[in-house]
Amino acid sequence: MKRPRSIVLATVAALAATVALGGGALRDSHSAGALAAVPADARAYTALGFRLQALERETGDPVYLTRSEHALRRALALASDDRAATSGLATLALSSHHFREALALGRKMLRLSPESAQAYGVIGDAELELGRYRLAFAAFDTMARLRPGLSSYARVSYARELLGDRGGAIAAMRLALEPAAASREDTAWTRVQLGKLFWSEGRVGEAAAEYRAALAVLPGHAPALDALAQVEAARGRAEEAITLERRALEAMPMPQFAAALGDLYSSAGKPRLARAQYARVRALDRRLAANDTKIDLDVALFDVDHGIRLSQALVLARRGRAQRPSIDGDDVLAWALARNGRCAEARAYSQHALRLGTRDAVKLFHRGMIERCLGNRGTARHHLGRALALNPHFSLLWGPVARKVLR
Amino acid sequence: MTAVLRRRRVAVTALALFGAALALLMLRFGPTPSVAQASSHREAPLIANDPTADITDFYMFRSIQPGQADKVDLIMNVIPFQEPSGGPNYYNFDPSVVYTFHVDNNKNGTAGDVEFEFRFSNETRGIVNDAGLPLAYVALPPITSLSGPGSEGLGVRQRYSLTMIKDGHRIPISPMTDKIAVPSNVGPRTMPDYDGLAGQGTYDLGGGIKVFAGQRDDPFFIDLGAAFDTLNLRSPGTDMLSGFNVNSIVLEVPAALLTRDHRSPSTTTQPKLGAYASTSRPRVTVRGGGDGHSHGHGHGGFVQVQRLANPLINELIIGTKDKDRWNSLEPQQESAFLDYYENPRLALALSLVFGAPVPATPRSDLENALLKYAPGDMRLSELLRLDVSSAPGASWPNGRKPADDVTDTAIQVVGGVAFAGAGDNVSANDKVLPNVFPYLASPWDGRNRVHLNP
């Protein structure tokens, strides 16, 4: 009996080490009874992989995603059916926009752990970005039945938002606040999501209150600073907005924060400072791409919005939509086509982007501008009017354009 | 020879404890939330802790309070590992969670005969609210009362309602008005007579029914730390849960309210009860509505987050890969997990490592003890069972009292004859457990509980 005993004791030690490493993988580690099944090193690599993902969340540095992937792949090389390592890779695939891979990993999770709420979350997230909404919503419903709580309520909220059910989206996100209360990070995240739901229908005051509540529980929370900057800009307080956006960017160097800061400078009449931020967007994008995050769609939208290399942007948009055939993919491709003067082609994609009935001011604005390009003035005014009625502050860049067209 | 045996005993116990430790830690701490930031697509956390819906322990026993032997007590503890100094908000029940005790009194394994549902509501009030203080509780003046003068500093206050559901009929026992949950024990300046405050939160509802909801010392005891230190066990062991608090719901009712024939423990002809505790959250679907506004409209609008009957089942018997499914099903659907009972992995590990004989599989003994009222019972249901006609003081698995050493019992039962007498050398809670309602010890206070070795 010597051999099994030594194996088990080694496993015990490795498990203790896993705990010391931060315990991120613990829940999904094999439980006590099945001690002998998995080599010790797989656990250590899995724990390392989870810790590296946590570092990415803290710093925003995508190099940790690459390093996490290496650790998790080594874990799976040692134990191909390790549930923790599989779920870690699935999370990673979602974060880096490899949605088809995420879907395959989600299905593997479900095979390893039938009726795992987490697996349904991964599958739903991936199906959603792949544009298969019926399947995505079914996965979210199953997840909410298996484990009602923050993770499933937030997903149901997002699904309702996509379907144009804003009241329902707000109600579900409010419900998520109670289970989120146990964690400051979760509370801040949930508050920001709730604020954005208010914001997207022009309820600026309520949005600001949620963002401030997020900052009260988690001072310096970058997404809340970024969102609050948009509120200040909407209220005409450009200086305050710029200060907040800079703080967000300092806390977490995300390209979308740099883009927002550039736009704030631009609309404040500071083109030189704006250009510096746009250059920074490029640099941050390169860093994401270097760490294998698929950002073609995001780059395409930025370029199209800022009139940069439009024909190249259209190529990116097509590629991005192939990776992410969602309503966002349709919308960005439509907008890229329109800005390249191919409005008839653009129209079909724009209609497709609005097929769920999503009440999204940006998508409605795109639709309106495409109709205008096609000479359909009445239809154009209708959609632009809807966009502004929904959220008069939907875009620092395009809000004024929409208003001008309507005048 | 004796030394060798003793060493083997210690090692065996250590492994079993290690299993329990790991499982408890997994359940009690869980993973960190994963809100990714790196990308522009909408990312929600995939796994998040849910401590307010997390039941640590469930107890059911014939009252051990002198003169109260005609009563049965039900206790559920939630919100694990509370650090007593965990301000400024401390620990509250969750207004969006339904906390329920379920009782089976006709031995059909379905615990829907008598149910007791607790719901909470929050109120922000007093000087904390008026002055916008970032504290839940403040000694302005010291908190000496749950309501009226002396309660001004109670900035967050929770009220609760109790509803009995008997054979499908909802019977309000106490409305959401005057019953107040006892707040966390902040410290002697803020709450100079905490036990007095807790006494005010112990309610006699008439008809022999008593309730308490609020913070208590965690009565579970186990030497987790020694097991994790590469099986470095000791005698006496140390209660690793010492110094941590939980939130407790304690309900005492006449046994006659629970028994099928409405008779007392001494006269009932149907003395066997089965029970479990559950937490539920509002059921929400993408298109089907459900937003938690249907409060009080029965269980239909809610979905189970967790269930708990016997101790250590969730930790030691059910495999991690089936946890979500197990928690989403009802106790009477336990036959879906029969393999875990018949082939307990803990026993397998024990025999693998130490060569100590464990009972042969399939383990009908575990099945009989945990899933049936009697060996001939064909309806498998994972319930905590109590024979109310047994004398007060009976121990798990005949009911369960806070003082029962379930870790030792579990090891002995799962391990079989070779493990008779095995244990973790921690056989009592760090605080003395009272034998009067609410049967749990006063919680550690936030100011004076310290993390220094003696």
Query: What is the distance between the alpha carbons of residues B93 and B161, in angstroms, rounded to a whole number?
Result: 12
Query: What is the distance between the alpha carbons of residues A164 and B287, in angstroms, rounded to a whole number?
Result: 11
- Cα distance from A369 to chain B (closest Cα, Å)? 24
- pLDDT classification of B32: cutoffs 50, 70, 90: very low
- What value does the mean pLDDT take over residues B242-248? 94
- The per-residue DSSP string of B144-158 comes to --SSSTT-TTB-EEE
Using an 8 Å CB-CB cutoff, list chain B residues near A256: 40
For residue B228, the model assigns a pLDDT of 60
Q: If DSSP codes are grouped into helix, strand and coil, which group holds residue B218?
A: coil
Q: Which of A13-17, A335-339, A383-387, B184-188 has the lowest mean pLDDT?
A: A13-17
Report if residue A261 sits inside a domain: no
Q: What is the mean pLDDT of chain B?
A: 85
Which of A56, A62, A60 is closest to A24 using CA atoms? Answer: A56
Asked if B346 and A298 come within 8 Å (Cβ–Cβ), the reply is no
Asked if B38 and A288 come within 8 Å (Cβ–Cβ), the reply is yes
Asked if A147 and B328 come within 8 Å (Cβ–Cβ), the reply is yes
- What value does the mean pLDDT take over residues A82-92? 94
- What value does the mean pLDDT take over residues A368-384? 97
Asked if B352 and A36 come within 8 Å (Cβ–Cβ), the reply is yes
Q: Nearest by CB to B305, which of A9, A149, A186?
A: A149
pLDDT digits (tens, 9 = 90+) for B298-345: 334 899 999 999 988 887 788 888 989 999 999 999 999 999 999 887
The residue of chain A with its CA nearest to that of B344 is A33
Using an 8 Å CB-CB cutoff, list chain B residues near A222: 37
Asked if A175 and B292 come within 8 Å (Cβ–Cβ), the reply is yes
Report if residue A259 sits inside a domain: no
Report if residue A290 sits inside a domain: no
Using an 8 Å CB-CB cutoff, list chain B residues near A94: 36, 41, 43
Asked if A147 and B97 come within 8 Å (Cβ–Cβ), the reply is no
* Residue that finishes a domain, picked among A95, A117, A152: A95
Report if residue A362 sits inside a domain: yes
How many inter-chain contacts (A to B, CB under 8 Å) are there?
260
For residue B69, the model assigns a pLDDT of 96
Using an 8 Å CB-CB cutoff, list chain B residues near A141: 285-286, 288
- Cα distance from A74 to chain B (closest Cα, Å)? 21
Report if residue A141 sits inside a domain: no
Does B34 have pLDDT greater than 90?
Answer: no
Report if residue A230 sits inside a domain: no
Can you give the residue range of the structural domain that contains A362? 306-407
For residue A262, the model assigns a pLDDT of 98
Report if residue A326 sits inside a domain: yes
Asked if B291 and A12 come within 8 Å (Cβ–Cβ), the reply is no
Q: Nearest by CB to B45, which of A29, A96, A150?
A: A150
pLDDT digits (tens, 9 = 90+) for B251-270: 999 999 999 999 999 999 99
* Residue A26 or B436, more confident: B436
Query: What is the distance between the alpha carbons of residues B350 and A32, in angstroms, rounded to a whole number?
Result: 11
Q: If DSSP codes are grouped into helix, strand and coil, which group holds residue B318?
A: coil
- pLDDT classification of B68: cutoffs 50, 70, 90: very high
Does A334 have pLDDT greater than 80?
Answer: yes
- The per-residue DSSP string of A278-294 comes to HHHHHHHHHHHHHTT--
* Residue that finishes a domain, picked among A38, A67, A95: A95
- Cα distance from A197 to chain B (closest Cα, Å)? 13
For residue B296, the model assigns a pLDDT of 35
* Residue B125 or A243, more confident: A243
Using an 8 Å CB-CB cutoff, list chain A residues near B230: 9, 12-13, 16
Asked if A31 and B47 come within 8 Å (Cβ–Cβ), the reply is no
Query: What is the distance between the alpha carbons of residues A181 and A187, in angstroms, rounded to a whole number?
Result: 6
For residue A18, the model assigns a pLDDT of 34
Using an 8 Å CB-CB cutoff, list chain A residues near B330: none
pTM: 0.89
Q: Nearest by CB to A65, which of B38, B47, B324?
A: B38
For residue A30, the model assigns a pLDDT of 36
* Residue that finishes a domain, picked among A31, A63, A95: A95
CATH number assigned to the domain comprising residue A341: 1.25.40.10
Residues whose CB is less than 8 angstroms from the CB of residue A182 and which lie 6 or more positions away in sequence, other chains included: B48, B49, B50, B51, B52
Before B183, cis peptide (omega within 30)?
Answer: no
Cβ–Cβ under 8 Å, residues A33 and B318: no
Q: What is the mean pLDDT of chain A?
A: 90
Element (H, E) at B76: strand B71-82
- What value does the mean pLDDT take over residues B409-429? 80
- Cα distance from A229 to chain B (closest Cα, Å)? 17
Asked if B19 and A60 come within 8 Å (Cβ–Cβ), the reply is no
Query: What is the distance between the alpha carbons of residues A344 and A110, in angstroms, rounded to a whole number?
Result: 43
The residue of chain A with its CA nearest to that of B39 is A95
- The per-residue DSSP string of B369-394 comes to HHH-SSTT-------EEEETTSPTT-
For residue B354, the model assigns a pLDDT of 58
Asked if B33 and A4 come within 8 Å (Cβ–Cβ), the reply is no
Report if residue A104 sits inside a domain: no
Q: Nearest by CB to A175, which of B50, B284, B285?
A: B284
Give burial (CB, 10 Å; 0-12/13-18/19+) of B31. Answer: buried
- Cα distance from A5 to chain B (closest Cα, Å)? 5
For residue A272, the model assigns a pLDDT of 97
Query: What is the distance between the alpha carbons of residues B291 and B42, in angstroms, rounded to a whole number?
Result: 21
How many CB atoms are closer than 10 A to CB A389?
Answer: 12
> What's the number of domains chain A is made of?
2
- Cα distance from B269 to chain A (closest Cα, Å)? 39
Query: What is the distance between the alpha carbons of residues A300 and A317, in angstroms, rounded to a whole number?
Result: 5
